[in-house]
Structure 1
C-alpha cells in the first residue's frame, strides 16, 4: 500500500536556493543571521547577503561558474554560510568535506567531485595542502588567512559585478555531499536546487521557526543535517544561528546559556550527556524549548530523561543525504506522538514498506524496507549510474535500506537495517571502505567489518582479520593503529577478532550474518 503524509502538499517554487533564502532579506537586514559562539562575532542578514553577493562576484571573476565544483573544508563559522551560498549564487556546485577527514580522504573527495577550488582555514592547512596537491587543486583559499593563499577578505573586496547565471533548479546540482548510501564506499550525492528548496519547504509544518528563534549549530555544516536542517532552514525563516566549531560539552552548555538558544539540534550521543552528565546542572538552560535529534535512532527512555531534566520538548526525525535529507519528523507542536518514533511523513511524499525477502508491500504493524518518493529525492550518485539504479527504482522510489514499521497514527519507527552501513555516533562508516584499507596491510590476508554494540550500546566497527602466514605477531592494537592512521576518527576500528577464514557465499560475498552470530568482542 502507498502511504502518504497527513499534511497537505506544499507549493514548491521554481527557484534556486539563494533565491529562496535571500528574496526578502531587506525586511530583516538588521537582524542577526549568524553569530560565532566562541567569539560573539555577528553577521546580520544584510551583511550576509552582501557578502554572498561579493563572493559570487569574486568567483565569477576567477572564472568559476556553472558546472564548476567548489570544496569547503571548514568547521562551523558564520563565514561557512558566506562561502556556501556565494558559490551557489555564482552557479557553482558545493562539495562539503568532513572536517575530520585525513589528507587521503580529502584528496579522494576533491578528485572524485572534480573540484577546482578549495576553501579552508589555516588550522586545517596541514591536511588541505597535501590533499589539494594530490587532487591537482591549485586554488586554495584560506578563510582566516595564511601566507601564500588568498583569504576571504580579499575576495569580498572585489569591485566586480555579481554574475547573472541561468540555472534550471530542477536540473542543476547545488550541492555534492558524500554518502555511502545503502552500502559500499562514499559516493557523491547530487542534490539539485529544487531538491534542497523542496525539503526546506516540506519541513515548514514540522519545525515551525520564525525570526524570534535562536538555533544552535553544533552539528557540522558539512553534514546534510547541519547544512539543511540547522543552517538553511533557520536562514529561510529569519532565525539566528549560533555556530560552534566543534562539540565540547562545557562550551556547548555555555553557548546555550549565554545566547539563550531555544532550538538545539543534536545526534543521540549528545542526548546521553544532557540526560546524565553532572556538568549540565551548572548552566541555566531555561531558554531551551525544543531539542531535535536525528542522524541515528533516539531511545524513547533517553528522550524522556532529557525532557524531564531540561523541561523542554524532545523531537526526533529521520532522513538521509539522498533525501535532502528529511523524510519523517515529529512536529514541534505534537506532544501526543511518541518520541520513540521518527514521526510522520513530510508533505509531497509517498512511501512504501516492502518485505525485503518477498518484495511484497506490507501494511501497518508489519516491518518492511522503507521506500520514499518525492521532490527531495536526489538526482543520483555522481558518475555512478549502477549505484543510482540500485537505489532509485523505475517508479522514483528511493530504497533507504532501513527497515521500518508504521502504526495506525501514521508514525514510523525504524527497527533494523537491510544495508550494511555502520552508524557510529550519527556518522556513516562504510564497511567496504575499511575492508579495502585493511587488505592493504602486508600482514592481513583477508578481512571483514561489521557493526557491533559496545558497553554503552553504541554501534562500533569491528574487524574480523585473517593473518598472512608469518604475521602471527600482528595483534589487535596493531590493526587498530593501522586503520587510525588512514581514516577520520569516527571510522576507526574499535574491536578486532582474528579468525581462520572470512565466511563467504559461493559468489564471494561476505556472509555478515555469520560474523554477527559470533561472540561480540568488547571494543578496545
Structure 2
C-alpha cells in the first residue's frame, strides 16, 4: 500500500473502507436507533460516485450539501473524494438569500439535501444557472443506493495535495462568511496530526456526533474518526438527556465539546443524575473555555480538560494541549508538529517574544489555499512570508504554552486602555446565578467605548443590574468595569459551535 502522504483522499478512504469488516458499525442515530455499517457507507459512496460521474461530475467540479446531520451525510463527501471533485457543505439553517451568497462563487452543479430543505434548494435552482441537479436523501437518493450501478475503481490524480478538496464557509462572526478553500494536502495534514499525543482514537473509540457536519470541526472530526474505524453515535442536535445517556450507555472516555456544552456539564443539575465516571479526557474547541468552567469540569470529572485552537482557515486545529499532560489553566497548549506560530505586533508588524501579547499568526501545510473569489481578503489574511493572520490576540509563555486573550476586532478601546471582553465574561460567569454572559463596547464620545454586559441569569433570580456591576468592580481594575451598564436577556446569540456572535449583540444596543 502506498504511504498516506502520497495517496489522494479518494484512495485513502477507498482502501480503508473496503478493508473494514462488513458488520462493523460506523454510525448510530441516537434518536431513532437507525445505523449504518462501514460496508454500507462504502457501497453507498461508490454508487453515489458512479451516479455523479454519469451526471458529468468530474475533477474540480463542485458538489453542495444542504442538510442536517444524518447517517448518509458523508456518502457524497467520500464520493467526491473518489472523483477528485470538490464538496461544499453549508448550514441547513441558511435562508435562500444566504444560500445564494454562500454558493455565488463555488457554483455547485449538484446539491444533496433532504425533505426539510428541498423547497429552498428548488427555489435556489430557479434563481441560478449553475445548479443542474438536486439529490434528496429522502427521495431520489434511495434510487441510487438501491440500484446496481457502482464505481468500479478509483483513479489516481497527480499533484493531489494542491487540489481543492472542500470549500467551507468561515464562521462569519465579524462579517459575511467567506468561502475557505481547503486542499487535499490541508486535510491530510490535519488528519495525520490528530493522533497521539494530541488525541487517541482507535477502533474501540466511541464519540458523539454532535458538531455540525457542514462546519470544519464536525467534518474534520468525522472523517478522522472514520479513518480510525471508530464508532459515532449521532445526536442531530444537542439535547441534555440524550447527550448524558450516550455517555453513560457507551461509557465514553473522550468528549469533544464547545464552550456552551462545557457550561452545561459544569452547572446543569441533570448531569448529576447520570454515571459519567467513564469520562477521562475532555477537549474544548470552537471558542475559548473560561478558566472558571475549566476548573469546575476538572474537579467534577476528575480528568484533564484540554483546549485546542484553530479555525477553518488553518484546517481546523493548529495548537493543542498534549494528552496525558496537565495543561496550564487557560492555555490552548503548544503548536502541532510542523506548525510555525508567530506572535506579531499588529501595528509595527514586528515579531514579539514571550509574554508579549500580539496577533497569533500561523504558517505550515495546514494553511488554506485562499478565500474563493476574494483575492483582496486572501492578501489581507496571508502575508508575504506565508503567515496566516488569525485576528486573535494572544501570547506564549517561557515554556511555549499559548494563551488567547481576545479577537483583535473585539477588543474594547476604553480611553487609553484595551479591555478584553473574554476576561470580563470569565468574571461574570463565575457568579453563581449567572448562566452566561457576553460583553461588547458601547460607543462613547469621551471614552471611545464603554464595556457593556449582556447577562443570562438563573430563572427567578433577584440579581439586579447594579449587583452585576458591583460584582465585577470588586474583582477587576477600574478601566474594565461595566461602565456601559448591564442588560439581562434570555439567551445569547451563538454560532452552531458555541462561538458568541458579538456582532448581533452590538446590533441590540
- Pick from 89, 99, 104: which aligns with 2:97? 104
- 1:157-306 to 2 correspondence within 5 Å? 157-162=147-152, 164=155, 166=157, 168-179=159-170, 184-205=175-196, 206-228=198-220, 230-306=221-297
Q: CA deviation at 1:266?
A: 1.4
> How many angstroms apart in 2 are the aligned matches of 1:65 and 1:411?
45
Q: CA deviation at 1:119?
A: 0.8
- 1:385-400 to 2 correspondence within 5 Å? 385-400=375-390
Contact 2:210–2:235 under 8 Å retained in 1? yes
> How many angstroms apart in 2 are the aligned matches of 1:22 and 1:315?
33
Contact 1:91–1:167 under 8 Å retained in 2? no
Q: TM-score, normalised by structure 2?
A: 0.78
Look up the match of 1:366.
Answer: 356
Contact 1:29–1:47 under 8 Å retained in 2? no
Contact 1:202–1:348 under 8 Å retained in 2? no
The number of residues matched between the two structures is 431
C-alpha spacing 1:286/1:77, structure 2 compared with 1 (3 Å)? farther
Look up the match of 1:376.
Answer: 366
Look up the match of 1:348.
Answer: 338
Instruction: Point out where structure 2 has 5 or more consecutive residues left out of the alignment.
Output: 413-420, 429-433, 444-481, 491-509
Q: CA deviation at 1:181?
A: 7.1
> How many angstroms apart in 2 are the aligned matches of 1:17 and 1:215?
23
> How many angstroms apart in 2 are the aligned matches of 1:458 and 1:131?
37
> How many angstroms apart in 1 are the aligned matches of 2:159 and 2:135?
28
> How many angstroms apart in 1 are the aligned matches of 2:97 and 2:280?
41
Q: CA deviation at 1:67?
A: 1.8
Look up the match of 1:64.
Answer: 57
* Runs of 4 or more consecutive aligned structure 1 residues displaced over 4 Å after TM superposition: 180-183, 450-457, 460-464, 516-524
> How many angstroms apart in 1 are the aligned matches of 2:359 and 2:119?
43
Contact 1:55–1:156 under 8 Å retained in 2? no
Contact 1:29–1:44 under 8 Å retained in 2? no
C-alpha spacing 1:38/1:457, structure 2 compared with 1 (3 Å)? closer
Q: CA deviation at 1:94?
A: 0.7
> How many angstroms apart in 1 are the aligned matches of 2:146 and 2:91?
25
Instruction: Point out where structure 1 has 5 or more consecutive residues left out of the alignment.
Output: 1-10, 423-449, 465-515
Look up the match of 1:51.
Answer: 44
Q: TM-score, normalised by structure 1?
A: 0.76
CA RMSD of aligned residues (A): 2.8
Contact 1:344–1:412 under 8 Å retained in 2? yes
Residue 81 of structure 2 is aligned to residue 88 of structure 1: yes
Residue 435 of structure 2 is aligned to residue 459 of structure 1: no
Look up the match of 1:143.
Answer: 137
Secondary structure in 2 matching 1:402: strand
Of 321-330 and 102-111, deviating more is 102-111
C-alpha spacing 1:124/1:354, structure 2 compared with 1 (3 Å)? same
Q: CA deviation at 1:221?
A: 0.9
What is the CA deviation profile of residues 444-488 of structure 1, one whole-angstrom value per residue up to 9, with x for unaligned ones?
Answer: xxxxxx999696554378998xxxxxxxxxxxxxxxxxxxxxxxx
Q: CA deviation at 1:421?
A: 11
> How many angstroms apart in 1 are the aligned matches of 2:439 and 2:10?
38
Secondary structure in 1 matching 2:72: helix
Greater relative contact order (Cα < 8 A, sep 6+): 1
> How many angstroms apart in 2 are the aligned matches of 1:65 and 1:156?
23
> How many angstroms apart in 2 are the aligned matches of 1:51 and 1:185?
35
Contact 1:318–1:327 under 8 Å retained in 2? yes
